[in-house]
Structure 1
């Protein structure tokens, strides 16, 4: 969100897994989350997203779990430049970083930056995940010759980014991810 004064807010909402804990409150009209999965319930054992947690992230009283939520506000030359956020589990940081790089380094429009194909690597498992049909065979073959292991089959969506870019004129340009049911609106 960006207002007429240039104030910005970025939000990442999550209930973690699909439908969270699968528990629904009729009274409140919402699903409860299953964020406890973000703790290392058993250090060294992967969670639902394949992340292998360590002893430092084990469940303890009055402790907050490790999270990939990355609501982000970027300034350029001390002025608001980009506001970005996405759901996506362990791929959130990847999706946010690639969107910012696309807007800044490759001078893409906000919608182009959001639409661009993404890839993700989280150390364990030691594999680069590419979105379907996002990268040509020559690129994938070159990575294979360099020793990279990458997915060859089904891949989950890597984020559903929503973002706003402030143009040099001061007008705002929204980007809504076609991977979801998102819409960019200005008023």
Structure 2
């Protein structure tokens, strides 16, 4: 009973409100499939910490850049990254459309030598000019091998998009990982300034990190970044391998 109440209150506090303002998902919460899912999540010999329970209908829409990779039955591939740059973009709605205007102007060099919101220190060639497009980190990528489709990949993450995309490709091509292993592998990022090596937990052993520090490298450990959504056309099996980045579980790798 306690475990059922724990889950019910998690859903209540996450999804329900005044129906004049909120589209309450009552049919989903009371559906047989949802109830069976909640029942199966209860372990009879172990309490579930409340910190491990969130609203059970899935993750809310994220606040970040979005990427998706697609390959159809004929081998046509699409890699798309889209964004309004920062949280809520410019913070202004375009008329009565309901859409936020982007603040991609931050991708320009507003002042040489001064970092933008992602810490990038950029030069004069990227300064603002009429009709000019800013230098973006978005890297939707399609990789070919011998002229044939090999991989489709890309990620959100601001300036880390470039390193995230690069490392997933290297993990497959140079280290022989499958697509999910390549996406799951701990990441490293350096963007010139700040002069720090950003690393995810588990990338380096303490001994290796100490040796690199002795060589002059400075490290900052971050919890995680990026959300690579990738597809590999395995040349050995001719099968498509889809990988969803577990760092942001709202994504999905799906076939048809």
Q: TM-score, normalised by structure 1?
A: 0.92
Mapping for residues 14-25 of structure 1, pairs under 5 Å: 14-24=83-93
The answer as to 2:207 corresponding to 1:171 is no
Segments of 4+ in structure 1 off by > 4 A?
Answer: 24-27
Instruction: Report if aligned partners of 1:24, 1:32 keep a CA contact under 8 Å in 2.
Output: yes
Which residue of structure 2 aligns with residue 56 of structure 1? 125
Q: Distance in 1 between matches of 2:140 and 2:231?
A: 12
Q: Which moved more, 1:13-22 or 1:43-52?
A: 13-22
Q: Distance in 2 between matches of 1:113 and 1:132?
A: 16
Give 1:24 deviation, angstroms.
4.3
Structure 1 unaligned blocks of 5 or more: none
Q: Could you say what secondary structure the match of 1:81 adopts? A: strand
1:2-23 residue CA offsets vs partner (Å, 9 max, x unmatched)? 1111111111112212232233
Instruction: Report if aligned partners of 1:119, 1:158 keep a CA contact under 8 Å in 2.
Output: no
Q: Distance in 1 between matches of 2:91 and 2:128?
A: 21
Aligned residue among 134, 142, 148 for 1:79? 148
Q: Name the Cα RMSD after superposition.
A: 1.7
Q: Distance in 1 between matches of 2:208 and 2:100?
A: 41
Q: Distance in 2 between matches of 1:62 and 1:110?
A: 39
Q: Distance in 2 between matches of 1:136 and 1:28?
A: 51
Structure 2 unaligned blocks of 5 or more: 1-69
Matched pairs, number: 185
Cα pair distance change 1:19/1:131, threshold 3 Å = farther
Which residue of structure 2 aligns with residue 137 of structure 1? 206
The answer as to 2:254 corresponding to 1:185 is yes
Which residue of structure 1 aligns with residue 42 of structure 2? none
Q: Could you say what secondary structure the match of 2:82 adopts? A: coil
Q: Greater Rg, structure 1 or structure 2?
A: 2
1:70-95 residue CA offsets vs partner (Å, 9 max, x unmatched)? 11111112221110011111111100
